[in-house]
Structure 1
């Protein structure tokens, strides 16, 4: 039976700028954060639209080495995207891992919600707090990057 997770983080950057970078994950994140994202390669499609499959190779700072994701949904109007992990290190812990990320306006900034479902391989496998923590840190780094590049608005 699948368990659910949900975390939120408030960013100072504009929701449209945050969404543009999240939606261009394949190209943007390896360039902006090479110590964390060694590469993101589109194996099928453009790597950013529904049906695309992308291989993510993480840098030395990340315990996971690779994952392969299939993008299930991209909703430009609502700044929302969903994906399923279909291969890689995370599936050594979870038989199912699906996530949705949504960026919405909050005051002058952005509220990003990261939620989804997972099934642990067995009872000894921890809940994915390390995964959600990693995503939150990546979003905070994105916010700092956008603010430093004067991309707030």
Structure 2
């Protein structure tokens, strides 16, 4: 049975710029947030395109993890992107894991849809916290750089 988790954070940069970062240059997280994002490798397609598959190496709650992530849906009108995890460490805890970010003026909202592999598996609050922290870092980066 699928469950949902939502997390919202305030952003000060423009919605277009913020969405553009997640849409087109998400792999830059390796450079601007190296404490949590170690590498991104494009396996199929082109970054920022539906169907693109990337291999992410990241750190969450102090643990190094991997995830094979597919850009499932992109809606430029709504400024939303859906990422589906196909494989990797997170899939040991969840049968399915999908995250959608929607950006609007002043906020970024994450919607995480997941199905636990076992009942004892925790709600993915650590992923929601990482998503919010990532948004804060991206917002600061966009506000202080010439991008």
TM-score after normalising by structure 1: 0.88
Q: How many corresponding residue pairs?
A: 147
Residues 60 and 69 of structure 1: is their aligned pair in 2 closer, same or farther, counting only changes over 3 Å?
closer
Residues 94-125 of structure 1 deviation map (CA, whole Å, 9 limit, x = unaligned): 111011111011xxxx2111003101111111
**Structure 2 unmatched runs, 5+:** none
Partner of 1:143: 139
Give 1:77 shift: 2.1
**Structure 1 stretches (4+) deviating beyond 3 angstroms?**
59-62
> 2: CA distance between counterparts of 1:25 and 1:6?
23
Residues 89 and 104 of structure 1: is their aligned pair in 2 closer, same or farther, counting only changes over 3 Å?
same
> 1: CA distance between counterparts of 2:48 and 2:91?
22
Partner of 1:87: 87
User: Structure 1 residue 122 and structure 2 residue 118: aligned?
Assistant: yes
Give 1:24 shift: 2.4
> 1: CA distance between counterparts of 2:53 and 2:140?
28
Residues 5 and 124 of structure 1: is their aligned pair in 2 closer, same or farther, counting only changes over 3 Å?
same
Give the SS at the match of 2:56: strand
Residues 62 and 52 of structure 1: is their aligned pair in 2 closer, same or farther, counting only changes over 3 Å?
farther
Give the SS at the match of 2:31: helix
**Structure 1 unmatched runs, 5+:** none
Residues 29-68 of structure 1 deviation map (CA, whole Å, 9 limit, x = unaligned): 1122223211111100013211111100125974242101
